[in-house]
């Protein structure tokens, strides 16, 4: 486990109801942080907040709506008194399939969550972070941000755009005390991978379950990325496929 001590820090995680988001919420809490859990699934985040205890806050929120994300950030600051880390983790893989067969409305929804959701998190976090002169903004990226994958036009395009957003935001705000970076975890054993497997679309659907890393590895990486050891990666995606990174994180 990373040695990062986040005692007294406040972390907001989007898409916190399951998968990487839920694992990250637990990992940040274990590292001493107060955690705001954001997702559309009200019951799931309430249950997780109950499991974590008094230092967790469940906030039902649709990241595709900026005002909801802004309210979630405000509620977090009001409850915990600071705002130190945001993890833009909420994401969807659908629609999958060749572009010519894809519903344009569903394609747009993927952009609303994967790209605009990340922008909404960044934009809402900037106020309190700039006010205190520090903060870490992490967006969960993907190998799909850098490699075209057949049948994944919405996911690849939205993740590539989110990666560029990370680079631009780093360039604009690193000099003001903010740390902005992405995590490319590789394939992770979550519900999303089950959906991909069931679709039969693209090369990732052909992988065995044993090929995927556990979500706890991604969670440990996110905690590690909040410390100074990750400063060399600001403005970039940290790849959990990299053995050197895995050793640093403690999951090699």
Q: pLDDT > 90: what percent of the chain?
A: 87
pLDDT class for 190, splitting at 50, 70, 90?
confident
> What domains can you pick out in the chain, each with its CATH number?
10-187+216-245 (3.40.50.720)
Instruction: Give CA angle at 238 (227, 175), nearest 5°.
Output: 55
Q: Which residue has the higher pLDDT, 17 or 197?
A: 17
Q: Which two tokens stand for residue 24?
A: 């990250």
| 115-164 residue pLDDT tens | 999 999 999 999 999 999 999 999 999 999 999 999 999 999 999 999 99
Measuring CA to CA, which residue among 16, 1, 17, 23 is closest to residue 189? 23
Residue in 155, 173, 217, 224 annotated catalytic: 155
Catalytic status, residue 155: yes
pLDDT of residue 76: 98
Identify any residues that bridge with 159 across adjacent strands, giving them in sequence order: none
- Give the per-residue pLDDT at 3: 52
Q: Which helix (H) or strand (E) holds 245?
A: helix 243-249
pLDDT at 2 over 70: no
pLDDT in tens, 28-52: 999 999 999 999 999 999 999 999 9
**Omega before 95 cis (within 30°)?**
yes
């Amino acid at each position: 486990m990373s040695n990062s001590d986040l005692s007294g820090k406040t972390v907001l995680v989007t898409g916190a109801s399951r998968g990487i988001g839920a694992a990250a919420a637990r990992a940040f809490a274990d590292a001493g942080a107060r955690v705001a859990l954001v997702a559309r699934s009200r019951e799931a985040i309430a249950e997780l907040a109950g499991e974590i205890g008094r230092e967790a806050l469940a906030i039902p929120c649709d990241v595709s709506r900026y005002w909801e994300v802004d309210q979630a950030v405000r509620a977090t600051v009001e409850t915990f008194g600071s705002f130190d880390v945001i993890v833009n983790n909420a994401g969807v893989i659908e629609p999958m399939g060749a572009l010519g067969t894809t519903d344009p409305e569903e394609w747009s929804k993927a952009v609303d969550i994967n790209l605009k959701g990340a922008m909404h998190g960044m934009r809402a976090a900037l106020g309190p972070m700039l006010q205190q002169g520090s903060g870490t903004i992490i967006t969960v990226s993907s190998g799909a941000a850098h490699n075209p994958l057949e049948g994944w036009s919405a996911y690849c395009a939205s993740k590539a755009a989110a990666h560029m957003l990370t680079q631009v935001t780093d360039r604009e705000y690193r000099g003001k005390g903010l740390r902005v970076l992405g995590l490319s975890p590789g394939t992770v054993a979550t519900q999303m991978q089950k959906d991909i497997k069931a679709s039969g679309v693209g090369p990732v659907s052909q992988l065995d379950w044993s090929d995927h890393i556990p979500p706890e590895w991604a969670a440990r990486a996110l905690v590690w990325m909040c410390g100074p050891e990750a400063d060399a990666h600001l403005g970039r995606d940290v790849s959990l496929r990299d053995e050197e990174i895995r050793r640093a994180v403690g999951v090699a």
